[in-house]
């Protein structure tokens, strides 16, 4: 485990206020989800999950076909599709367009994909102002932090934390009433919407048969981001494409329920192309950036490409007993929780944080709530095997490898196993790493003098 990972876990566990904030907030989301998918609330929930899984499987297995169909339909509506292979290509495109159109202010609605490519930092580095307009994201931007959670980015912040950030960064009076805090943010952000030349959003779904970008949100800031500025850029991972508009009947029933327990989010926007001649709203220019950033590397593996089915509802985070203890910032990359633990090693390579797939008790709670049925524990197991194969290749962690070879040898030699067990039970407690780690938290079980096989043989 890297020292950073270890330290962040320790710091989060040691912070009692933070522990309470994470546990309470995720608990609330978890309970709301449970209620909203219960048999009386949504009788066909399991059937919807099965359909969602089948649709995603089909879309990912025919990604080339649906991306091209999507592109044709976007262009037929007067929009443009831009393929980007990594962070640099995304920022180069945005920067180039901003320069050409003379834009210096950009408004953004919540997008994990833009976080993934460090877009804000890159734009700021080139003198552009990019303002987050989702309240949670705005708080974090002012506080210079990364999202803590895929759906609720400022989940770890209490209203007192927010009051302090606003006081310091916006030079307003210390105010802790949530409604008043949102009024303060709204006061600043309204003008930004009006002044901005470009609006950047993510995308929840890319609909191939209609060339539409679908955005799901609660605050209305995404809708303003896509309509107020002259130019709209949607940045989406290539895996967001779904075949038909009618497939949304499945996904939209699952997404908000899984994320926040809402039957439907407050706003669901369908955007296809720039404003037509007969329309009063909408941008003059419409771009969809399709990002790879490591995604195509997952396609060859039948077992692992299911990681691309994710619709970013974060139900797995809220239900995960590990996330609920170590929080979002302990995770090495922007994606946290169980989904972060399976996509980070695949997008960034297993050596990015080799301990990540091991930071799980494999309890399976994530797979149980996943609306698209990603078998997260199985992918974690496969990634663990990948990590060990890489270590063996690079001749790292050789002592551990040796100990598992000895384990296999012992377990195939019953007499050696019985003898080793006898020694371990009758000798002194060994002062070795695993025993020290165990006793740092718990007591050892009382050690029996006789094993089961000893008792059995004397029956």
Partner 1 sequence: MGKRVSLFVTCLGDQLFPNAGMAVVEVLERLGYAVDFPKDQTCCGQPAYNSGYREEARTVARHFLKTFESSEHIVVPSGSCTSMIGHHFADLFRKEPETLARVEALSRRVFEFSTFLTEVANVDDVGARFDGIVTFHDGCHGLRELHIREAPRRLLAHVRGLELREMQPAEECCGFGGTFSVKFAELSGAMARTKLEAIVQTGASAVVSLDSSCLMQIQGALSRAGSKVRTMHLAEVLASR
Binding site for partner 1 (CB under 8 A): 1, 9-10, 13, 321-322, 325-326, 355, 357-365, 367-368, 378, 381, 384-389, 400-401, 404-405, 407-408, 410-412, 414, 417, 421, 424-425, 433-434, 437-438, 440-445, 447-448, 450-457
Of the candidates 140, 97, 149, which has an alpha carbon nearest to the alpha carbon of residue 120?
140
**What phi-psi label fits residue 131: left (phi over 0), alpha (psi between -120 and 50 degrees) or beta?**
beta
Q: What's the closest the beta carbon of residue 325 comes to partner 1, in angstroms?
A: 5
Q: Which lies closer to partner 1 via its Cβ, residue 2 or residue 385?
A: 385
Q: What's the closest the beta carbon of residue 457 comes to partner 1, in angstroms?
A: 8
Q: What's the closest the beta carbon of residue 243 comes to partner 1, in angstroms?
A: 30
Check the CA dihedral 289-294-297-303 and report its sign: negative
Q: Which lies closer to partner 1 via its Cβ, residue 127 or residue 446?
A: 446
Query: Any bridge partners for residue 217, and if so which?
Result: 267
The secondary element (H helix, E strand) that includes residue 236 is strand 231-237
Q: Which lies closer to partner 1 via its Cβ, residue 249 or residue 437?
A: 437
CB proximity list for 146: less than 8 A, separation 6 or greater: 115, 140, 328, 329, 334
Burial 244-261 (b: 16+ CB within 10 A, else e): ebebbebbbbbbbbbbbb
Q: Which lies closer to partner 1 via its Cβ, residue 278 or residue 412?
A: 412
Q: What's the closest the beta carbon of residue 173 comes to partner 1, in angstroms?
A: 38
Q: What's the closest the beta carbon of residue 5 comes to partner 1, in angstroms?
A: 10
Of the candidates 26, 112, 110, which has an alpha carbon nearest to the alpha carbon of residue 327?
26
Q: What's the closest the beta carbon of residue 253 comes to partner 1, in angstroms?
A: 24
Q: Which lies closer to partner 1 via its Cβ, residue 266 or residue 406?
A: 406
Q: What's the closest the beta carbon of residue 319 comes to partner 1, in angstroms?
A: 9
Q: Which lies closer to partner 1 via its Cβ, residue 96 or residue 414?
A: 414
154: tokens are 């400022």
Contact 195, 105 (CB under 8 A): yes
CA distance 129 to 106: 6
Of the candidates 24, 115, 174, which has an alpha carbon nearest to the alpha carbon of residue 335?
115
CA distance 198 to 233: 7
Q: What's the closest the beta carbon of residue 260 comes to partner 1, in angstroms?
A: 20
Q: Which lies closer to partner 1 via its Cβ, residue 12 or residue 111?
A: 12
CB proximity list for 166: less than 8 A, separation 6 or greater: 142, 172, 175, 181, 184, 185
Q: Which lies closer to partner 1 via its Cβ, residue 104 or residue 361?
A: 361
């Amino acid at each position: 485990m890297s020292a950073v990972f270890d330290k962040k876990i320790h710091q989060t566990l040691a912070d009692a206020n933070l522990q309470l904030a994470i546990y309470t907030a995720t608990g609330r989301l978890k309970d709301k989800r449970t209620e909203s998918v219960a048999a009386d609330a949504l009788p066909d929930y399991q059937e919807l999950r099965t359909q969602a899984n089948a649709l995603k499987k089909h879309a990912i297995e025919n990604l080339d076909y649906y991306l091209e169909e999507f592109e044709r339909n976007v262009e037929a509506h007067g929009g443009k599709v831009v393929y980007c292979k990594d962070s640099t290509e995304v920022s180069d495109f945005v920067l180039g367009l901003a320069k050409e159109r003379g834009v210096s202010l950009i408004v953004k609605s919540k997008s994990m994909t833009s976080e993934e490519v460090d877009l804000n930092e890159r734009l700021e580095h080139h003198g552009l102002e990019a303002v987050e307009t989702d309240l949670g994201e705005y708080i974090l931007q002012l506080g210079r932090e990364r999202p803590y959670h895929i759906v609720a980015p400022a989940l770890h912040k209490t209203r007192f934390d927010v009051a302090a950030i606003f006081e310091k960064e916006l030079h307003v009076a210390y105010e802790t009433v949530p409604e008043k805090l949102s009024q303060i943010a709204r006061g600043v952000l309204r003008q930004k919407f009006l002044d901005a030349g470009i609006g950047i959003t993510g995308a929840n779904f890319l609909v191939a048969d209609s060339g539409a970008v679908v955005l799901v949100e609660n605050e209305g800031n995404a809708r303003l981001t896509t309509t107020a500025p002259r130019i709209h850029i949607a940045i989406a991972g290539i895996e967001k494409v779904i075949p038909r508009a009618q497939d949304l009947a499945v996904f939209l029933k699952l997404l908000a329920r899984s994320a926040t327990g809402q039957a439907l989010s407050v706003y669901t926007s369908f955007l296809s192309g720039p404003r037509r001649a007969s329309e009063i709203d909408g941008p003059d220019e419409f771009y969809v950036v399709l990002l790879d950033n490591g995604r195509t590397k997952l396609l060859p593996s039948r077992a692992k490409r299911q990681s691309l089915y994710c619709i970013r509802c974060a139900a797995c985070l809220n239900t995960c007993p590990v996330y609920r203890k170590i929080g979002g910032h302990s995770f090495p990359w922007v994606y946290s929780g169980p989904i972060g633990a399976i996509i980070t090693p695949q997008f960034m390579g297993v050596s990015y944080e080799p301990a990540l797939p091991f930071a799980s008790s494999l309890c399976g709670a994530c797979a149980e709530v996943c609306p698209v049925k990603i078998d997260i524990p199985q992918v974690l197991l496969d990634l663990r095997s990948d990590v060990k194969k890489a270590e063996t290749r690079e001749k790292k962690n050789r002592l551990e490898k040796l100990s598992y070879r000895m384990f296999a040898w012992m377990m195939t030699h019953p007499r050696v196993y019985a003898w080793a067990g006898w020694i371990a039970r009758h000798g002194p407690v060994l002062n070795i790493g695993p025993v020290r780690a165990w006793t740092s938290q718990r007591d050892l079980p009382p050690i029996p003098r006789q094993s089961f096989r000893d008792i059995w043989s004397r029956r």
